[in-house]
A and B are shown apart, each in its own frame.
Chain A
Amino acid sequence: MPKYTKPPSHLQEILKWNGWGYSDTRFLFNKKGQAEFTGKRYRLSGMIIPALQNWFEGTFGASVQHKSPAMPILTSSAVQPPTLNEAFVDELKSTGIPCSHDAEDRVFRGHGHCLHEVFALREGKVGRVPDIVVWPNCHNDVVKIVELACKHNVCLIPYGGGTSVSSALECPPEETRCIVSLDTSQMNRILWIDEKNLTAHVEAGIVGQELERLLNESGYCTGHEPDSMEFSSLGGWVATRASGMKKNIYGNIEDLVVHVKMVTPQGVIEKGCQCPRMSTGPDIHHFIMGSEGTLGVVTEVTMKIRPMPEYQKYGSVVFPNFEQGVACLREVAKQRCAPASIRLMDNEQFKFGHALKPQVSSIFTSFLDGLKKFYITKFKGFDPDRLCVATLLFEGDREKVLQHEKQVYDIAAKFGGLAAGEDNGQRGYMLTFVIAYLRDLGMDYYVIGESFETSVPWDRVLDICRNVKARIIQECKDKGVQFSPLSTCRVTQTYDAGACVYFYFAFNYRGLSDPVHVYEQVEHAAREEILANGGSLSHHHGVGKLRKEWMRETISDVGMGMLKSVKNYVDPKNIFGNRNLI
Chain B
Amino acid sequence: SSDLGHALRTYSPSPYEGAPSCSTADLNKAVLESQYLRYVTKEVGSSHWDEDVRQEVCRILEEMSQNLQLGSIRLMAYTLTKVLKRLFTGIFVNMEGLNMLQQAIQESPVILMPNHRSYVDFLVISYILFTYDIPLPVIAAGIPLAGMKMVGEILRRSGAFFIRRAIGSDKLYWAVLSEYVKTIVRKGCAPLEFYVEGLRSRTLKSLMPKLGMMHMVLEPYFKGEVYDITLVPISISYDRVLEESLLAHELLGIPKPKESTTGLLKATKVLQEDYGNMHVNFGRPMSVRRLCQGKINRCQYNLIPRDLPQKPSAETQACVSGLANLMVRIQEEGSLISPWSLMACLLLQAPTTVLTQEGLLWHQLTEKTLWLRKLALDFGAHLNWPGQVPDLDVMSSTVTLHRSVVHLKAGRVYLVREEEPVRKHPISPELDVIRTAAAVLMLASYRNQSLHVFVRPCHAHFPIYELFAFFWFLRDIFSNEFIFIPGKSSQDFEEACFLLNKCGAVDISEQEVIVSDARLEVLSFLQALLQPFIHSYQVMFRYLCEDGGNVFTEKQVLPAVRNRATKLILSGELHTYEALSSDTQKNGLSALQRLKTVTKSEQNEYRVNKAAVRRIDDILCESAYFKYS
Using a CB–CB cutoff of 8 Å, the interface residues on chain A facing chain B are 459-460, 463-464, 466-467, 470-471, 531-534, 553
Contact = CB atoms under 8 A, between A and B. Distances in A.
18 contacts: A459-B305, A459-B306, A460-B306, A463-B224, A463-B225, A464-B224, A466-B227, A467-B224, A467-B227, A470-B227, A470-B228, A531-B299, A532-B298, A532-B299, A534-B224, A534-B299, A534-B301, A553-B299
B302 interface: yes
A534 B300 CA distance: 9
Contacts of A553: 299
A532 B224 CA distance: 8
Nearest to A467: B227
Shortest Cβ-Cβ A-B pairs, 10 listed: A532-B298, A470-B227, A533-B224, A534-B302, A463-B224, A467-B227, A463-B225, A467-B224, A532-B299, A466-B227
Contacts of A463: 224-225
Contacts of A459: 305-306
B224 A460 contact: yes
Interface string B382-414: 000000000000000000000000000000000
Q: How big is the B interface, by class?
A: 10 to 19
Nearest to A468: B227
Residue from B224, B297, B301, B302 having most chain A Cβ neighbours under 10 A: B224
A350 B306 CA distance: 31
Given A531-B299, A534-B301, 12 more contacts: A459-B305, A460-B224, A463-B225, A466-B227, A467-B227, A470-B228, A532-B299, A533-B224, A533-B298, A534-B224, A534-B299, A553-B299
A470 B306 CA distance: 21
A470 B108 CA distance: 11
A304 B125 CA distance: 68
A463 B298 CA distance: 13
Nearest to B228: A470
Nearest to A535: B302
Nearest to B301: A534
B623 to A, nearest CB: 46
Contacts of A466: 227
Contacts of A534: 224, 299, 301-302
A460 B299 CA distance: 13
Interface of B: 224-225, 227-228, 297-299, 301-302, 305-306
Contacts of B298: 532-533
A471 to B, nearest CB: 7
B625 to A, nearest CB: 54
A274 to B, nearest CB: 37
Contacts of B302: 534
B219 to A, nearest CB: 13
Contacts of A532: 224, 297-299
Contacts of A533: 224, 298
Nearest to A385: B18
Contacts of A467: 224, 227
Nearest to A462: B225
A534 B301 CA distance: 8
B294 to A, nearest CB: 12
A464 B305 CA distance: 15
A471 B227 contact: yes
Nearest to B221: A467
Nearest to A531: B299
A533 B297 CA distance: 10
A460 B228 CA distance: 16
Contacts of B227: 466-467, 470-471
A10 to B, nearest CB: 47
Nearest to B297: A532
Contacts of A531: 299
Contacts of A470: 227-228
A501 to B, nearest CB: 14
A527 to B, nearest CB: 13
A532 B294 CA distance: 12
Contacts of B301: 534
A532 B299 CA distance: 5
Nearest to A470: B227
Contacts of A464: 224
Contacts of B224: 460, 463-464, 467, 532-534
A489 B628 CA distance: 69
A531 B301 CA distance: 11
Residue from B228, B301, B302 having most chain A Cβ neighbours under 10 A: B302
A467 B227 CA distance: 5
Nearest to B108: A470
A533 B302 CA distance: 7
A470 B287 CA distance: 14
A467 B225 CA distance: 8
A53 B227 CA distance: 32
A113 B297 CA distance: 32
A454 to B, nearest CB: 12
A464 B223 CA distance: 11
A466 B228 CA distance: 11
B285 to A, nearest CB: 15
A467 B108 CA distance: 12
Contacts of B305: 459
Contacts of B299: 531-532, 534, 553
A531 B297 CA distance: 10
A126 B275 CA distance: 76
Nearest to B302: A534
A377 B227 CA distance: 29
Nearest to B35: A459
B296 to A, nearest CB: 9
Residue from B225, B227, B305 having most chain A Cβ neighbours under 10 A: B227
A466 B225 CA distance: 9
A459 B305 CA distance: 9
Contacts of B228: 470
Nearest to A466: B227
A222 B322 CA distance: 57
A471 B287 CA distance: 13
A466 B301 CA distance: 18
Nearest to A386: B18
A533 B301 CA distance: 8
B14 to A, nearest CB: 15
B97 to A, nearest CB: 22
Nearest to B222: A532
Nearest to B300: A532
A182 to B, nearest CB: 38
A524 to B, nearest CB: 15
A491 to B, nearest CB: 17
A533 B298 CA distance: 7
A515 B9 CA distance: 50
A519 B473 CA distance: 50
Nearest to A473: B227
A139 to B, nearest CB: 42
Nearest to A553: B299
A521 to B, nearest CB: 15
A532 B228 CA distance: 13
B426 to A, nearest CB: 72
A467 B289 CA distance: 11
A459 B228 CA distance: 18
A10 B299 CA distance: 47
A575 B305 CA distance: 44
A396 to B, nearest CB: 35
Nearest to A463: B224
A533 B306 CA distance: 11
A553 B299 CA distance: 10
A61 B297 CA distance: 36
Contacts of B297: 532
Nearest to A534: B302
B147 to A, nearest CB: 39
Nearest to B296: A532
A466 B224 CA distance: 9
A459 B224 CA distance: 11
Residue from A459, A466, A534 having most chain B Cβ neighbours under 10 A: A534
A471 B305 CA distance: 23
B608 to A, nearest CB: 47
